Chains A and B, each alone.
Chain A
């Protein structure tokens, strides 16, 4: 096993982990503020990818519907519009599902189940409209960019560099936001909504913004993964599950933790395959999930507050 080989596996893990990170951020934002797992995140992820696809190719349908939009947007514009609409979808989900349930003081478990139901609905709507088959972004989507770039001994798919870049950009934006008074106010709402409200912060407005950001991130992640592979109505599901593991790894509701958790998860997966399979074929890839989730269990047992390990917040 050469250093180049290990570096390659590390790059594989980081680039995949970046998607986990950006996906998990959407989960964790909502969790941090409402203590609710929003399972529609995986569906918003898929919807975001289809939105960008349709805006870019001018084509909606493939299932029960065949429509041609009058316009075809360049990738960056379709991407931006798709992400913004995904953000609005997040807001719609807050107004249609979570807010009415909170008003009725429903058990958080009900919100969870409702979000699973809505996620199923959205995914099935996608299948109705686009069919079950895979759609692919046009090969020229990335212009004249080569499919892979060589960084010394390491091969990286260009799209994965883009994913890494966008993830870092999203993080930087979140970091700037978190340093502003609005960011502080958001953290305050997350820590104690009642007290935040007494300081004049409109809690419900911040919740709406949180859902917008979370939907936006979901849409971005979905499009990036779609660009990288292909899209089908169900392609958010695997990420939904891993995303859950990632936010537990990073510490529930911990925003930097979600990013670190995502990258760590990606690297663990890659090294499990890369190291174990190198010596005994099929062992690492066969037990990849068992090993990743085994590590997750260990983290839960010894660091229930997550990897970055702030102390568990007690809520008043």
Chain B
């Protein structure tokens, strides 16, 4: 039992964006979240990461209740995410973006780093090395000093993933990681997600529109429509579900 989403709801004024959604994501699973535009997928991600509080319901990770925690506390509990519209720190360099993610690993205090003690300097060097390892993993080695905003779109996505990985998460939430990628990049993405799951022992939760990617990558898929969970199961089963076909093809 890894991530338990228990009757989570969120309304904005009169609009129910997420309506009593419940499902459980197992350790090590790659779990897809699909549904038409406006189905509440990103809102669900925001609820899980603590960016907005739920109107009702509960979120547990490895038995610990996460509901009501601040985003930084949720991050320290082991959840990291990326955004559909990439949110890097555009004025920081590529490496600095990753270093910010490594912030949690620091041992020396901020005062020590202000005084540049030997311990702090050592810890800074090791942080730089870790950052470069992550950058090499996502294929951005050699661009460490460039401003993040100067990267092409696809590279920015990879940098955002590297930054999320820098926090050493147990659960990685990817919001439309393939958006804007060309077919060959999408192909590589699938392999890449499986590779990082293996290497970092991750549970992955991803929102994706690109059906072949979801089918080939995800162990299980949940389908949201108008904030409600309308289907849950293996990709092949869900694809045949009449409710899902109706949601995608019916009027909306």
Contact = CB atoms under 8 A, between A and B. Distances in A.
Find out whether A and B make contact in their complex, taking CB atoms under 8 A apart as touching.
yes
Interface string B126-168: 0100000000000000000000000000000000000110110
Nearest to A316: B87
B103 A198 contact: no
B104 A200 contact: yes
A192 B89 contact: yes
Q: How large is the interface on A (under 10, 10 to 19, 20 to 34, 35 or more residues)?
A: 20 to 34
Interface in B97-133: 99-104, 106, 110, 113-114, 116, 120, 124, 127
A234 interface: no
A316 B104 CA distance: 24
A184 B116 contact: no
A176 B124 CA distance: 11
A195 interface: yes
B96 A187 contact: yes
A145 interface: no
A144 interface: no
A199 B164 CA distance: 7
A194 B72 CA distance: 9
> What does DSSP make chain A's interface, helix, strand, loop or mixed?
helix
Interface string A266-279: 00000000000000
Nearest to A180: B113
Q: How large is the interface on B (under 10, 10 to 19, 20 to 34, 35 or more residues)?
A: 35 or more
Given A199-B167, A310-B91, A181 B116 contact: no
B92 interface: yes
A195 B113 contact: no
B61 to A, nearest CB: 14
A209 interface: yes
A200 B76 contact: yes
Contact of B81 (A181, A198, A203, A314): A198
B75 interface: yes
Looking at B71, B90, B92, which has the most chain A CB atoms within 10 Å of its CB? B71
A310 B93 CA distance: 13
Contacts of A182: 103, 106, 110, 113-114
A37 B87 CA distance: 26
B114 A196 contact: no
B71 A197 contact: yes
B100 A201 contact: yes
B230 interface: no
Looking at B76, B80, B103, B120, which has the most chain A CB atoms within 10 Å of its CB? B103
Contact of B75 (A183, A185, A199, A310): A199
27 contacts: A176-B113, A176-B116, A179-B124, A180-B113, A180-B120, A180-B124, A181-B100, A182-B113, A184-B92, A185-B103, A188-B89, A188-B92, A191-B89, A194-B71, A195-B87, A195-B89, A196-B100, A197-B72, A198-B51, A198-B71, A198-B74, A199-B100, A199-B104, A201-B72, A202-B70, A313-B91, A314-B90
Interface of B: 49, 51, 70-72, 74-76, 80-81, 83, 85, 87, 89-92, 96, 99-104, 106, 110, 113-114, 116, 120, 124, 127, 163-164, 166-167
Going nearest first, the 8 A-B pairs with the smallest beta carbon separation are A200-B75, A180-B113, A182-B110, A197-B71, A188-B100, A200-B104, A191-B89, A185-B103
Given A182-B106, A187-B89, 19 more contacts: A176-B113, A177-B113, A181-B103, A182-B103, A184-B96, A184-B99, A184-B100, A185-B103, A188-B103, A196-B100, A197-B72, A198-B72, A199-B75, A199-B104, A199-B167, A200-B75, A203-B72, A313-B90, A314-B90
